[in-house]
Structure 1
Amino acid sequence: MTAEARPNNAPVSNQPGRSRKAAIEEMIRVDHAGEYGAVRIYEGQLAVLRHVPGKEELVAKLEHMAKDEEVHLARFNELVNEREVRPTALAPVWHVAGFALGAATALLGEKAAHACTAAVEEVIDQHYQAQVERLAQMGEDERQLRDTIEQFRLEEVAHRDEAIASGAEEAPAYPLLSGAIKAACRLAIRLSEKA
């Protein structure tokens, strides 16, 4: 039997189990990184806005959303351990970048903070939806992961909708701000999948 004919020498991409495992690992890695970044964004926003008089209602909304993100991160921490997934090497970058994004948008004002939430959550909605569809194609073995991601997606959509209802689109230079944040989120997703 030649090397080309042996199944064990087949490229990894042609081995369904290996490519599926790699795909799941990438999903968990990037989602773990994303939820960590989201927690840091809210920490940055709250660090600024907790000290602004008259922003108690806004702070309460942000604290509620931050708690959702902390629950999401806790679950992905569990999945990283259960599935033995290597977390992203970029966590120190997301630690600083997430906080900086949150603080910067909060310093620009309440509407800019909401614009940040709306932009981030729009990208995450699309990202999680694509993952849910991919996991559905993998069958019932990944139903629990699919259901978890779908539940989190719906919570992220609720955050986006609340941010829009609170005036996100009224932020100064909203299209520019929103577009820049979305582009940064998409880049972070791509980098965190592999790094």
Structure 2
Amino acid sequence: MTAPGPEAAPPRKRRRRLPGDPPAPAPVARMLRVDQAGEYGARRIYEGQLAVLGRTRSGPMLRHMWEQEKLHLQAFDDLLPERRVRPTLLSPLWHVAGFALGAGTALLGSRAAMACTVAVEETIDRHYAAQAEALEGRSEEVDLRDTIERFRAEELEHRDTALANEAELAPAYPLLSAAVRAGSRAAIWLSERL
């Protein structure tokens, strides 16, 4: 006769935060703040690209990525009040800058819009990978880590789609992608802090 195996632990139910609960620890609050800001900026980038390229053959592809970014944003919009984390003070700036970046690159053509997507998504990939690593082993943050990893996979899908749609053939690709990466890193740094 074999000894009974360990029983599977019941699924962990996440307790909703109640009024008066302490806010999220500082590192997690920074993660949530910057991730919400980043997904908001991404949504605005795709809205700018759609405003220019929405009726071209690129429209359905851009719309698909935009829909995914809206779901990412909704997840972080829900987490901020639940975790008692304030959004970045820079949301009005990201509202304008995201749309301008999307529309501006789209005005240079679909390849430039795709180059923008590659640069942003590669920056986000590194950012999400660092966050997932920081949350590794923290049993109270399994759900957040899983969310970040799921969104990271979708961001990499966006990058791969953009590469398949000739991003690297954009005019001045190295310069354009370097500028977008630098801007994305600056936006991350600022949104974590403000």
Q: Which TM-score band (shorter chain)? A: 0.7 to 0.9
In the alignment, the residues of structure 2 paired with residue 122 and residue 132 of structure 1 have an alpha-carbon distance, to the nearest angstrom, of 15
Q: Deviations over 1:161-192 (max 9, x none)?
A: 11011100000000000000000000000000
In the alignment, the residues of structure 2 paired with residue 120 and residue 72 of structure 1 have an alpha-carbon distance, to the nearest angstrom, of 15
Alignment of 1:85-124 (within 5 A): 85-124=85-124
**1:183 partner amino acid:** A
How many angstroms does 1:140 deviate by?
1.0
How many angstroms does 1:154 deviate by?
0.3
How many angstroms does 1:98 deviate by?
0.0
2:25 match? 21
Partner SS state of residue 86, structure 2: coil
In the alignment, the residues of structure 1 paired with residue 110 and residue 158 of structure 2 have an alpha-carbon distance, to the nearest angstrom, of 15
In the alignment, the residues of structure 2 paired with residue 95 and residue 133 of structure 1 have an alpha-carbon distance, to the nearest angstrom, of 29
**When the two structures are superposed, what TM-score results if normalisation uses the length of structure 1?**
0.86
**2:104 partner amino acid:** A
How many angstroms does 1:89 deviate by?
0.2
In the alignment, the residues of structure 2 paired with residue 152 and residue 91 of structure 1 have an alpha-carbon distance, to the nearest angstrom, of 21
Q: Deviations over 1:22-42 (max 9, x none)?
A: 000000000000000000000
Alignment of 1:152-191 (within 5 A): 152-191=151-190
Q: Deviations over 1:105-148 (max 9, x none)?
A: 000001000000000000000000000000014x2110000000
**When the two structures are superposed, what TM-score results if normalisation uses the length of structure 2?**
0.87
2:8 match? none
In the alignment, the residues of structure 2 paired with residue 110 and residue 43 of structure 1 have an alpha-carbon distance, to the nearest angstrom, of 14
Alignment of 1:31-180 (within 5 A): 31-51=35-55, 55=56, 57-137=57-137, 139-180=138-179
Name the Cα RMSD after superposition: 1.1
In the alignment, the residues of structure 2 paired with residue 120 and residue 74 of structure 1 have an alpha-carbon distance, to the nearest angstrom, of 19
Gaps of 5+ in 1: 1-17
Q: Percent identity?
A: 60
How many angstroms does 1:50 deviate by?
2.4
Moved over 4 A (4+): none
In the alignment, the residues of structure 2 paired with residue 158 and residue 81 of structure 1 have an alpha-carbon distance, to the nearest angstrom, of 29
Q: Is the 8 A contact 2:54 2:62 kept in 1?
A: no
How many angstroms does 1:84 deviate by?
0.8
